Amino acid sequence: MSIDTDVRRNAEAFAALAEGRHRDPFALLGIHRAGKLRVVRTFQPQAKRVDLIDVEGNHLADMRKVHSHGLFVAAMPPRKRRYRLRVTSHDGQIADIEDAYQYPQSLGDIDLYLLGEGSDQQIYNKLGAQVISLLGARGTRFAVWAPNASRVSVVGDFNDWDGRRHIMRLHPANGIWEIFLPGVCGGARYKFEMLDKHGKLLPLKTDPYGNYHEPPPGNASIVYESDYRWKDTDWIGRRSVVPDLDKPVSIYEVHLGSWRRKADEGNRYLTYRELADELVDYVSDMGFTHIELLPISEHPFDGSWGYQPIGMFAPTQRFGSPDDFRYLIDRCHNAGIAIIIDWVPAHFPKDEHGLRQFDGTALYEHEDPRKGEHADWGTLIFNFGRREVVNYLIGSALYWIDEFHIDGIRVDAVASMLYLDYSREADEWVPNEHGGNENLEAVAFLRKLNAEVHAHGATSFAEESTAWPGVSRPVDMGGLGFTYKWNMGWMNDTLSYMCEETIHRKHHHDKMTFGLVYAFNENFVLPLSHDEVVHGKRSLLGRMPGDEWQRFANLRAYYANMYAHPGKKLMFMGGEIAQGQEWSHDRSLDWHLLEYKNHSGVQSLVRDLNHVYVRTPALHEIDFSSEGFEWIDWDDRNNSVLSWIRRDRSGGHVICISNFTPVTRHDYRIGVPERNPLKEIINTDAEKYGGSGIGNGVITPSEQEHYGKPFSACLTLPPLATLILLPE
């Protein structure tokens, strides 16, 4: 067969390729048999001339232009297996390039099987943009799941964003498209161009598995090659698939964009590497054991705080590169600080370059808006019943753990996932197969997620605001499998109590005690999170009643009460300096407040609370069992006083007392379990914290029984203060 005959026979296919309608360019381009000839076909619409050359650069043939849009053909000389193309563009520039269509598929049959089955735990190494070597050439494999597209192309700087030039190979069994582009390596910008099943051109899509993105409005994905060398081997080696619930957990919740800014440099963000010094040193000094980052995944809108992610596999570019983020994590681990990230599988935004109608169909979301949309947030809900979507989400969680050494994930908005009727009217939701409102597919997803997270040595936290049973109980016991659950009830009740004028608190005393009724039903974290200092709620200090002295005293007493209460601890940044105004993502915390004694006093208290908490087993070892807690007097509502005992596993204990009125109470007697002298290890009224300095020194109990205890002690209770006493 001659080249002329080959051209005539494939004329229709050539036209389809030139017009961007061809679904299988690998059947047409590259090396193919044409009768007794082997021919090389290439589509180079930018080219004035194309020469066929060998890998050493020797000329093999002039390629003939057989279509006005840029299709070139030449006979391949005998015994030649590899070739290159010398392309002369219309403006006269000459470049020697590799032809992507001479390379075989780069995903193996096992890879394709696992991806189709939805069981590939390292999906992030298969889909997306992977820099690899194939047949001796270095380049990038692009792969994307788009089963309902009629054509998928990768477009970028490397092909003038022309979707006709690099149409991908379809694997019809699982809807994955892939192509290897030799010579395309780190730094290349790209997106996916698709035609839907009817041949309609869709908006350009960011790579769902992209691990680096450019900022808006471009929003392109960027090929990224990591060369980071970790220095936290010892830390990772100490991870366990069984969480140690006896350890102290004191979490500092941080929004990286507003923790601290460079005011003298245009109010810019700190970079990941600057935060690795400033933030890590600060948190280490303050004694927090964990940092929790508001969502770090790439997101298009600053005002979403990251809770509407567009890149579930990409650290946001706002603060640097993925390796810069790795450096921040490494520094945390070497300082003994664990890292938790907020991770958002509950919903995603409708931005056209994201997952919405990804291949022209409801691929990641539900088609039915009664199951697929959150009207409150203007977002879409993942289809947890689709194995490829579950694999995508679990792959994302494991990516952060395995590739960035994250120690834990906090799953946001769990309640919205569990209930089909969440924030919906009666006619706005679809019952499950049993007629109930439980989202059974989401339940199965969360159980699988938590099993995998724990198997990889990390922990999981649920922000779940309802009474769903067993959120932090193991899957094999019927639970959802989270390590911890945020105690939203404790937070709501206690903050409501603290907002009351002190004279009225005796009428609301149960708000401070009710939490102990259910305190051991779950593995609770006590959260004073970012949600409590936005949207008109005021700062925590701003919610405290009384004059200035009383507001600070109330806040100090409340913080110490939290640290003495069963449950792990979480404080949003700014709480530790008694931030006066609500948090804003657009500005830095008010660090200048530390020039004032009241604010620096609160900071000193939080620092001391953390260090006392960590070194006092009774305050953290038995958080999730009634064995670690005993009331001394829970019902002194007339005086608004609470007193209790916290115990550790070796028989030690501390005694905790909170006085939530501005009245100093002299000779206040409490029952105690033994006669050993007691010393104050925390007194929130101490002068160094901004208090009045009323205290007790060493307290010697007497043999007088009181409230069922064999001994008792007479104390002076400072006004609006919490005491923690340790037997000597």
Q: List, for residues 375-394, the tens digit of each pLDDT value.
A: 888 999 999 999 999 999 99
Q: Please, which residues have CB within 8 angstroms of residue 422's CB and are 6 or more apart in sequence?
A: 415, 416
Banded pLDDT at 723 (limits 50, 70, 90) = very high
Q: Please, which residues have CB within 8 angstroms of residue 372's CB and are 6 or more apart in sequence?
A: 362, 365, 366, 380, 381, 383
Beta strands 290-293; 338-343: pairing state: parallel
What is the domain partition of the chain in residue ranges? 3-97, 109-222, 233-486, 626-727
Of 32-36, 81-85, 636-640, the least confident:
32-36
In angstroms, the CA 540 to CA 494 distance is: 12
Of 100-109, 238-247, 619-628, which has the strongest mean pLDDT? Answer: 619-628
- Any bridge partners for residue 85, and if so which? 52, 97
138 with 131: CB under 8 angstroms? yes
316 with 299: CB under 8 angstroms? yes
| Other CB atoms within 10 Å distance of the CB of residue 162 | 16
What is residue 616's predicted lDDT score, i.e. its pLDDT? 98
* 702: amino acid identity, one letter: S
Of 7-21, 243-257, 683-697, the least confident:
7-21
Q: Is 463 considered catalytic here? A: yes
C-alpha Rg value of the chain to the nearest Å: 31
Q: Which long-range contacts (CB under 8 A, 24 or more apart) does 113-121 make?
A: 115/145, 115/174, 115/176, 115/388, 115/391, 116/173, 116/174, 116/176, 117/387, 118/387, 118/388, 118/390, 118/391, 119/391, 120/391, 120/395, 121/394, 121/395, 121/398, 121/452
Residue at token pair 């563009």: 89
Given a cut of 90, whether residue 81 has pLDDT beyond it is no
In angstroms, the CA 200 to CA 194 distance is: 8
254 with 280: CB under 8 angstroms? no
**Range 192-204 average pLDDT:** 95
What is residue 225's predicted lDDT score, i.e. its pLDDT? 95
Q: Please, which residues have CB within 8 angstroms of residue 400's CB and are 6 or more apart in sequence?
A: 341, 343, 406, 409
Beta strands 459-462; 484-486: pairing state: parallel
Helix or strand holding residue 485 (H, E): strand 484-486
**Range 300-319 average pLDDT:** 93
342 with 294: CB under 8 angstroms? yes
Q: Which CATH class is domain 233-486?
A: alpha beta
Q: Report the phi/psi class of residue 697: left, alpha or beta, with left for phi > 0 and alpha for psi in -120 to 50.
A: left
Q: List, for residues 340-383, the tens digit of each pLDDT value.
A: 999 999 999 999 999 999 999 999 999 998 888 888 889 999 99
What is residue 291's predicted lDDT score, i.e. its pLDDT? 98
Strand, helix or coil for residue 238: coil
**Range 295-299 average pLDDT:** 95
Given a cut of 90, whether residue 251 has pLDDT beyond it is yes
Q: State percent of the chain over pLDDT 70.
A: 100
In angstroms, the CA 714 to CA 400 distance is: 53
Banded pLDDT at 717 (limits 50, 70, 90) = very high
- Any bridge partners for residue 643, and if so which? 633, 657
Q: Residue 288's Cα: distance from chain center in Å?
A: 20
- What are the start-end ranges of the E strands in 544-683? 568-572, 629-636, 641-647, 653-659, 665-672, 678-683
**Range 466-470 average pLDDT:** 94
Q: List, for residues 140-190, the tens digit of each pLDDT value.
A: 999 999 999 999 999 999 999 999 999 999 999 899 999 999 999 999 999
**Three-state SS annotation for 17-42:** HHCCCCCCHHHCCEEEEECCEEEEEE
Kindly write down the DSSP assignment for every residue of 375-428, as one continuous string: TTTTEE-B-TTSHHHHHHHHHHHHHHHHHH---EEEE--HHHHHBTTTT--TTS
Q: List, for residues 523-578, the tens digit of each pLDDT value.
A: 999 999 999 999 999 999 999 999 999 999 999 999 999 999 999 999 999 999 99
- Any bridge partners for residue 84, and if so which? 53
Banded pLDDT at 78 (limits 50, 70, 90) = confident
The domains spanning 109-222 and 626-727 adopt the same CATH topology: yes
Pick the CATH number of 626-727 from 3.30.1650.10, 2.60.40.1180, 3.30.565.10, 2.40.30.10: 2.60.40.1180
Strand, helix or coil for residue 670: strand
Q: Is 412 considered catalytic here? A: yes
In angstroms, the CA 23 to CA 149 distance is: 9
Q: Please, which residues have CB within 8 angstroms of residue 627's CB and are 6 or more apart in sequence?
A: 647
- What are the start-end ranges of the E strands in 540-659? 568-572, 629-636, 641-647, 653-659
What is residue 646's predicted lDDT score, i.e. its pLDDT? 98
Q: Please, which residues have CB within 8 angstroms of residue 153's CB and are 6 or more apart in sequence?
A: 20, 163, 164, 165, 166, 167, 168, 192, 193, 194
CB crowding 11-38: b at 16 or more within 10 Å, else e: eebbebbbebebeebbebbbbbebeeee
Catalytic residue (one of 51, 388, 412, 532): 412
What is residue 120's predicted lDDT score, i.e. its pLDDT? 82
In angstroms, the CA 12 to CA 7 distance is: 9
Q: What is the CATH number of domain 109-222?
A: 2.60.40.10
Banded pLDDT at 3 (limits 50, 70, 90) = confident
710 with 701: CB under 8 angstroms? no
Helix or strand holding residue 597 (H, E): helix 597-615
Tell which CATH architecture fits domain 3-97. Sandwich (2.60)
In angstroms, the CA 371 to CA 358 distance is: 18
In angstroms, the CA 179 to CA 170 distance is: 9
Q: Please, which residues have CB within 8 angstroms of residue 401's CB and are 6 or more apart in sequence?
A: 409, 453, 456, 457, 458
What is residue 590's predicted lDDT score, i.e. its pLDDT? 97
Catalytic residue (one of 207, 463, 522, 576): 463
Q: Which of 442, 312, 308 is nearest to 386 (CA)?
A: 442
Strand, helix or coil for residue 539: coil
User: At 254, phi and psi to the nearest 5?
Assistant: -135, 135
Q: Taking the model in full, what pTM does it have?
A: 0.95
677 with 539: CB under 8 angstroms? no
CA distances from 575 to 279, 307, 340, 555, 618 (A): 15, 21, 19, 9, 25
Banded pLDDT at 1 (limits 50, 70, 90) = low
Q: List, for residues 641-665, the tens digit of each pLDDT value.
A: 999 999 999 999 999 999 999 999 9
In angstroms, the CA 41 to CA 76 distance is: 10
Give the DSSP letter of residue 491: H
Of 27-41, 443-457, 614-628, the least confident:
27-41
